[in-house]
Chains A and B, each alone.
Chain A
Amino acid sequence: MPASAFADLSLAENHGCTQCHRFTQEASEEPPKGPDLFYAGNKFQKNWLENFLQNPVVVRKAGYTSDPGFLKGTPTVAQPHPSLPEKEAREMTDFLMSLKLSDLPASPVEGEPLTKGEKVRIKILFERNFGCIACHEGVNLAGQPRGGISGPSLANAGNRLTADWVFHWLKTPEKFLPKSRMPLYDLDDETAVKLTQYLMTLKIGRQN
């Protein structure tokens, strides 16, 4: 890590973020109260982050997976998330965007949009064949979130996540989390790319 990153970590410390989040890949003694952020720069769109830190939205309605109240749907960590004033949110966003895994290969996801037919086909995979919707919110025909809540909502994935990171999550989740509650799918690259592209079409609510 470059020397300047340490100064930034103290930024997160000073704001109390390290109480709940891990900013490095080192294992913590207790399971963290909130999602890992050591790969935030791979995972999030900058605009979404900056906005989230000022006006947090609830992404995990049942709370984070290691919250003691998670399986009861009554998280012990208060919702919504603590917020930061604009200037601090910007600083924090810059810091978070600098947190990247050094060993992630380039992903094969390209700009080429899904055709209408492909979108329908992948939607069926998402909602039926793979049953993703059992644990994740997608977007229904009326433009409303629809689906399970044990996984993070994907109803706004297209504004929140980067395509590259989604692809890597689908192919190699263990790079980010040693043991997820999500099933492994053993997707071939092409299906993973298409599924990623489909998730990136999901947008709801405010644009960033």
Chain B
Amino acid sequence: MFVKKSRKFQIILLLLMTLIACGDNAKETAKVKPPTAAPEKTAPAAVVAQPEQNPVPQKTRDVYQWYCTQCHGLKGKGDGINAKHLTVPPRDHTKGEYLETRTDKQLFDAIKLGGLAVGRAPCMPSWGNTLKDETIHSLVRYIRELCECEAL
């Protein structure tokens, strides 16, 4: 199911990309929404027609804080309490240069199925039994907020 959805999304994104030229531009527009902004009914970023532009709900941030921070750190910088004990450092979710090279589907799969299943570091466990698909999609959006980037 999600495959279809995210394909549609990729197509939209592709279309948008050709419209607004990618990379730096995308970054600029993304900066409108600081990742830590208070979530309570923030006015939607009306101007740019990017998909799902609204900041993710507080619930998603809470999920991130509860689970992901253990490795990825309180602000997503890849510096959680487990970080220095791992052979492969946890991903820094504020680094646009890398995360731009990943599609939303790739991020979704890494969270849902775990690192090993998608050819990445096995340290990343699979969260598919813990989190609903819907929540994982929202986490992908949250990571996009943290990196202030979209897939290229």
Chain A residues near B (Cβ < 8 Å)? 62, 70-73, 127-135, 137, 146-150, 179, 181, 183-186
For the complex with contacts A179-B66, A181-B66, 12 further pairs of A-B residues with Cβ separation under 8 Å are A71-B65, A72-B74, A128-B122, A129-B114, A129-B116, A129-B122, A131-B115, A134-B125, A135-B82, A147-B86, A148-B71, A150-B80
- Residues of chain A within 8 A (CB-CB) of B125 are 130-132, 134, 183
Please determine whether B129 and A131 come into contact, CB atoms closer than 8 angstroms: no
* A101 → chain B closest CB, angstroms: 23
A73–B74 alpha-carbon span in the complex (Å):
11
Query: Which of B74, B123, B126 sits near A71, CB closer than 8 Å?
Result: B74
Query: Which of A134, A137, A181, A183 sits near B123, CB closer than 8 Å?
Result: A134
* A201 → chain B closest CB, angstroms: 21
- Residues of chain B within 8 A (CB-CB) of A137 are 85
Please determine whether A134 and B82 come into contact, CB atoms closer than 8 angstroms: yes
Please determine whether A148 and B115 come into contact, CB atoms closer than 8 angstroms: no
Task: Let me know if B98 is at the binding interface, CB within 8 A.
Answer: no
Residue interface mask B41-82, A partner, CB < 8 A = 1: 000000000000000000000000111011100100000111
Please determine whether A181 and B124 come into contact, CB atoms closer than 8 angstroms: no
A181–B69 alpha-carbon span in the complex (Å):
10
Please determine whether B81 and A128 come into contact, CB atoms closer than 8 angstroms: no
Which residue from chain B places its CB closest to the CB of A133 in the assembled complex? B123
* B152 → chain A closest CB, angstroms: 28
7 residue pairs, one from A and one from B, having the closest CB atoms: A148-B82, A131-B125, A150-B70, A128-B122, A184-B129, A73-B81, A134-B123
A-B contact pairs, 15 of them (CB 8 A): A72-B81, A128-B116, A131-B126, A133-B123, A135-B70, A146-B85, A148-B70, A148-B82, A148-B86, A150-B71, A150-B82, A181-B70, A183-B67, A183-B127, A183-B129
Chain B residues near A (Cβ < 8 Å)? 65-67, 69-71, 74, 80-82, 85-86, 114-116, 122-127, 129-130
Which residue from chain B places its CB closest to the CB of A179 in the assembled complex? B66
- Residues of chain B within 8 A (CB-CB) of A146 are 85
* A70 → chain B closest CB, angstroms: 8
* B18 → chain A closest CB, angstroms: 38
- Residues of chain B within 8 A (CB-CB) of A127 are 122
A71–B124 alpha-carbon span in the complex (Å):
18
A71–B79 alpha-carbon span in the complex (Å):
10
* A125 → chain B closest CB, angstroms: 10
* B77 → chain A closest CB, angstroms: 13
Please determine whether A131 and B123 come into contact, CB atoms closer than 8 angstroms: yes
Query: Which of B81, B115, B116, B123 sits near A150, CB closer than 8 Å?
Result: B81
Which residue from chain A places its CB closest to the CB of B67 in the assembled complex? A181
* B88 → chain A closest CB, angstroms: 10
Please determine whether B116 and A149 come into contact, CB atoms closer than 8 angstroms: no
Query: Which of B67, B81, B86 sits near A62, CB closer than 8 Å?
Result: B81
- Residues of chain A within 8 A (CB-CB) of B81 are 62, 70-73, 148-150
* A133 → chain B closest CB, angstroms: 7
